[in-house]
Structure 1
Amino acid sequence: MRLAVADSDADIARCQPVMLELRPHLADRDFVAIVRRQQAAGYRLAYLEDGGAVRSVAGYRFMDTLCCGRILYVDDLVTRAADRSAGYGGRLFDWLLEQARAERCDEFHLDSGVQRFDAHRFYVCRGMNIVWHHFSLKLK
């Protein structure tokens, strides 16, 4: 089992099939180019590989905020459906917490779609609290 940050185009591309399970709207888009553009703004794409296959991926960034201080914000966290409940998501989640601590973050944050009940249960079991409502407004 290996945890790494996807820095090469090849590693980013290997993460795409797993990410599509969370973000299917990216299927017909240039995933590598999108990730590269986000990386220029601080986004990092991590993956957990086991047996030569990417099992779980996470997109995250470090942010400094007035409300919470320094945080690690998780944009994306997904494990392949076929690999759920095998411990991969938990290992990647714990690795993300280690990164937050290493960067001296005050808090660890993520948003989750209201329909993702299994994910919510996972986060609450990992000690996370539901503390905010997130609002959005589509502009296009």
Structure 2
Amino acid sequence: MSEISVIELTEADEFRAAFPVMRQLRTHLDEGTYLELVNEAIEVNGYRMFGLIVDDYLLAVTGFIPMTNLYDGRSIWICDLVTDQQERSKGYGEILLQFVQEWASDNGYEKIALSSGLQRTQSHRFYVEHMDYERASFVFKKDL
């Protein structure tokens, strides 16, 4: 039986080790820019990154920001959630999402929110049908 654990990634070498998996979601980032943005997100926004380890291999990554706002109160915004392409449909995304839910509950947060690209229909089915999330809004962006 495989040994599965979820650990917080806090060091540069851990962020670097997570990059090959994260790059599958954030294909526009090179490693240098990724590391720069992770460090800035931690410093400025309190970003937290966790990795799912299976038998000493990092196979899935999530990153989120604890926040407080007027529309959701104390909430967690999941910025990133990705499982290595070769390891998908094995329940690792569910384990990570359940971990975030438990972390949020244990730390006094009331809700979890995320956005997902319009093209990610399999992910949408997973969130709605399997994880009991509801569609709540559209996200609008504008490049400056």
| Bin of the TM-score, shorter chain as denominator length | over 0.9
Match status 1:48 vs 2:52: yes
Superposition pairs for residues 36-75 of structure 1, below 5 Å? 36-41=39-44, 42-75=46-79
Of 33, 38, 51, the match for 2:36? 33
CA drift of 1:34 comes to 1.9
The C-alpha deviation readout for 1:31-72, integer Å capped at 9, x for no partner, is 222211111021111110112211100110100010110001
| RMSD between superposed Cα atoms in Å | 1.0
Match status 1:77 vs 2:81: yes
The C-alpha deviation readout for 1:68-109, integer Å capped at 9, x for no partner, is 100011001000110101111110010000011011111110
Q: Which deviates further from its counterpart, 110-119 or 27-36?
A: 27-36
2:93 alignment counterpart: 89
Moved segments of 4+, more than 4 Å: none
Of 15, 26, 32, the match for 1:12? 15
TM-score, scaled to structure 2: 0.93
2:131 alignment counterpart: 126
Structure 2's unaligned 5+ residue stretches are none
Of 108, 112, 122, the match for 1:104? 108
CA drift of 1:113 comes to 0.4
Question: What SS does structure 1 have at the residue aligned with 2:136?
Answer: coil
Question: What SS does structure 2 have at the residue aligned with 1:29?
Answer: helix
Structure 1's unaligned 5+ residue stretches are none
Aligned length: 139
CA drift of 1:28 comes to 5.2
Question: What SS does structure 1 have at the residue aligned with 2:24?
Answer: helix
